[in-house]
Amino acid sequence: MFHRIGRTVVRHPIWTIVTWFVMAVVIAITAPARPSNSNESSFLPSSYESIQAMNLQQDAFPAAFTPAAEVLYQRVDGQPLTPADKTLITKVTTELGQKKIDQVQAVIPGMYSKDGKYDLALVKMDSADAGQPSQATAAQTLRDDVKALTAGTTVEAKLGGSAAQVLDQQDASKRGGELIGVGTFLVIIIAMIVIFRAPLMALLPLVLIGVVALAANGLIADITKLLGLESNSSVSSILIVVLFGVGTDYILFLMFRYREQLRAGEQHKEAMITAVGRVGEAIASAAGAVIIAFLALSLSSVSFLKQMGPALAISVGVTLIAGLTLIPAVFSLIPPRALFFPSKKWKVEPTGSKFAAVGRGVQRKPAVVAALAGLLMIALAVVATGYKASFDFASASMPKTKESMVVQDTLATAFSAGAGSPTEVFLTSNNGSPVDKGAVASLEQKVQAVPGVTSVSPAKYSANGATADISVILSADPQSSQAMNTVTQIRDVAHAAAPAGDKALVGGETAIYKDINLAINHDYSVVFPVAGILIMLILGLMLRSVVAPWYLMASVGLGFAATVGATVLIFQHIQNQSGLMFMLPIFIYLFVVAIGTDYNILMISRLREEARAGRSPREAAGQAIRHAGPTVAAAGTILAGTFASMMLAGNSLFSEMGFSISFGIVMAAFVMAMFFTPALTALIGHAAWWPGHADRKSGAAHADSVVVAGNLPGQNDDQVAELDQTRN
């Protein structure tokens, strides 16, 4: 099939290219804007207690609200506020409320800090649009207006809260995306120049992937609208890396094999057809593994991940189609001497290849190589047991210098850490009758006794008396693990204290994060195994084997654990961070397991090809490393470099993601694919392909091996190089 695809696009390159460009432009022009949402509560389905509590509050206490923004006032000189300052602050707060800013429903006075240096005003916005861009726009207007109203006075004001965080996160994501984009381009250009010594080979892939990105982003917008999904500002930066990183990978898979066929003496169009035919299955299988892993996110109960899955899967699917059609069509039009100019190394395979030496080492001592690679991954995997999660998504996704982050940190020190985000305990009657006030008073006392609770406000009752709301201030940061542990204890106390016929619900920001933690843990138990099983099925179908997929996925799983361990070591132990972003393990799993499997697939497919040429399992492993090793090394280096560019974004979320994913890809390419997988396959021998006979010699494969395979039994590397020179 892949030979037919290659033959079709190479024989009709102009039509292929024109079709691609027309489709990309049409899709991009007609695509709708992608809706965005950064509200944490929208991450969860309504079955979680915090969402039920939020809905109950809206029904029973329509006047009550969780502040969408907070205005923090302080003197310019940092001294305690004077009576004149307080009068000015009251005036400013009143004027803000009278400006009728879109989305802003009220601006009310808050409270003074204990040291008298700060005052707080609370902003109510339309809860139906929480996390939407419209509230970020309102936050920008509020921020501009309050600064204008306090300009030239003794008081200065800063805007914080969730709406301001959405605004600052959008700005940080835009700047971070620009830095990531520039970093990605530089990594690809520099790496391609180093690999091929040809400017055209460095620049042309970027142009082609740009066309692919145009089509992919348009399709993502169409599908997002069709399925009624929303996006998040962080997704765009991840898409840049996925599109250009994976796209470059597939181009390298194809071009290394194309160059190998040229060195074997084929004409350039036939060489491209052969390259598509030889690596097409590996590219398709690799892309299939990535797509399935990303689509497994659709099973997530966290909407942020559920929304990301289809977007990433579409991007890889479009990249796969381009890798089998657009890329070979374009490159087949360019003569090799122009494509690889000014280098001439594409004509002859270099002698004394380091990868040939590595292959000989694995061939001679596969057990030692497998043991060393395995011990390295196991040692790092042990460190992964110290992983701790952090749920401060806002702080993780933008620099601490952003205004909303400054307000958040100030609130945590000037007021009680949980003062800005109280936990709400609701007691509601199941039949609509008034709740027992004695039971409510008893519940207040029991909640007050929970460790980590600073204060409990007297209960407020709904108009019909059927619901009581007890506001609880926690001593810990609302987004900390300590606060979430306190919420767990409050829930246990509230559920146990609820009289028969009544129901207790605990909500608020900390409760939302606690439920997100529960949802993520649920997703780990669903998404991980589903993605793993489906990837194993792809491997089994491609390799016609039951045995090989098991140890291939086991090695990738070990690589995943080692990657988590290395990230824990760097960020928790060396940098002394309290924890890693709660979504990080699932990102590592999906990117390292899915994309890391690409390199295993490429290596194992080449090993199978060498075995079919009549080589023993050990010889096949050595030759697979010699020929596929340069491709894996180049692709792994570039992809790791593109993900490492995420560390330029300037926030801990992208720093952790950039390091962990790039490290995981390095492990997948240089430890698993280069050493562990071929060494294990060499040790297992023919049994690795049971019950099929995918490694058995065939006449056609043997004939082809004279042209495309490595050295035949009895030949050394210099003899093969001399033969190549003779052909050329």
> Concatenated DSSP letters for 492-529?
HHHHHHPPTTEEEEEESHHHHHHHHHHHHHHHHHHHHH
Q: Token pair 């460009």 is at which residue?
A: 21
Is the pLDDT at 142 greater than 80, yes or no?
yes
- Most confident stretch, 68-72, 409-413, 641-645: 68-72
| Predicted pLDDT of residue 507 | 93
Pick the more confident residue, 17 or 172.
Answer: 17
- In the sheet that holds 118-125, the strands lie side by side as 104-112, 118-125, 69-75, 155-160
Is the pLDDT at 517 greater than 50, yes or no?
yes
* Cβ atoms 124, 108 nearer than 8 A: yes
Structure tokens at 199: 């400017």
Q: Distance (Å, rounded) from C-alpha 497 to C-alpha 447?
A: 10
Is the pLDDT at 596 greater than 90, yes or no?
no
Is the pLDDT at 490 greater than 60, yes or no?
yes
| Predicted pLDDT of residue 706 | 36
Is the pLDDT at 249 greater than 90, yes or no?
no
What is 68-160's CATH number, 3.10.20.30, 3.30.300.90, 3.40.50.2300, 3.30.70.1430? 3.30.70.1430
Domain range 2-30+168-394+515-727, CATH class:
mainly alpha
Q: What is the DSSP string of 290-336?
A: HHHHHHGGGG-SSHHHHHHHHHHHHHHHHHHHHHHTHHHHHHHHS-H
- Given CA atoms 231, 234, 239, 242 in this order, what sign does their dihedral have? negative
pLDDT class of 417 with cuts at 50, 70, 90: low
| Predicted pLDDT of residue 354 | 87
Is the pLDDT at 537 greater than 70, yes or no?
yes
| Predicted pLDDT of residue 698 | 54
| Spans of all domains in the chain | 2-30+168-394+515-727, 68-160
* Cβ atoms 609, 694 nearer than 8 A: no
pLDDT class of 388 with cuts at 50, 70, 90: confident
| Predicted pLDDT of residue 270 | 94
pLDDT class of 409 with cuts at 50, 70, 90: confident
| Predicted pLDDT of residue 728 | 34
pLDDT class of 711 with cuts at 50, 70, 90: very low
| Predicted pLDDT of residue 311 | 85
In this predicted structure, which of 129-138, 230-239, 632-641, 645-654 has the lowest mean pLDDT? 230-239
- Please give the mean pLDDT across all residues of the chain: 84
DSSP annotation of 386 reads: G
Is the pLDDT at 712 greater than 50, yes or no?
no
The model's pLDDT over 75-123, given as tens digits with 9 standing for 90+, comes to: 999 999 999 999 999 999 999 999 989 889 999 998 888 888 999 999 9
pLDDT class of 74 with cuts at 50, 70, 90: very high
Is the pLDDT at 157 greater than 70, yes or no?
yes
Whether omega before 133 lies within 30 degrees of 0, making that bond cis, reads no
pLDDT class of 613 with cuts at 50, 70, 90: confident
Q: Distance (Å, rounded) from C-alpha 44 to C-alpha 381?
A: 30
In this predicted structure, which of 367-376, 578-587, 616-625 has the lowest mean pLDDT? 578-587
Could you give the residue ranges of the DSSP H alpha helices within 228-263? 233-263
| Predicted pLDDT of residue 384 | 93
| Predicted pLDDT of residue 713 | 39
The model's pLDDT over 427-464, given as tens digits with 9 standing for 90+, comes to: 999 888 999 999 999 999 999 999 999 989 999 999 99
Q: Distance (Å, rounded) from C-alpha 324 to C-alpha 250?
A: 9
pLDDT class of 705 with cuts at 50, 70, 90: very low
Q: What is the DSSP string of 431-486?
A: TSSPPPHHHHHHHHHHHHTSTTEEEEPPPEE-TTSSEEEEEEEESS-TTSHHHHHH
pTM of the entire structure? 0.76
Structure tokens at 573: 């132990």
Could you give the residue ranges of the DSSP H alpha helices within 61-161? 83-98, 133-150
- Given CA atoms 70, 72, 73, 76 in this order, what sign does their dihedral have? negative
Is the pLDDT at 302 greater than 70, yes or no?
yes
The model's pLDDT over 39-48, given as tens digits with 9 standing for 90+, comes to: 555 567 788 9
Q: Distance (Å, rounded) from C-alpha 360 to C-alpha 513?
A: 53
Is the pLDDT at 38 greater than 70, yes or no?
no
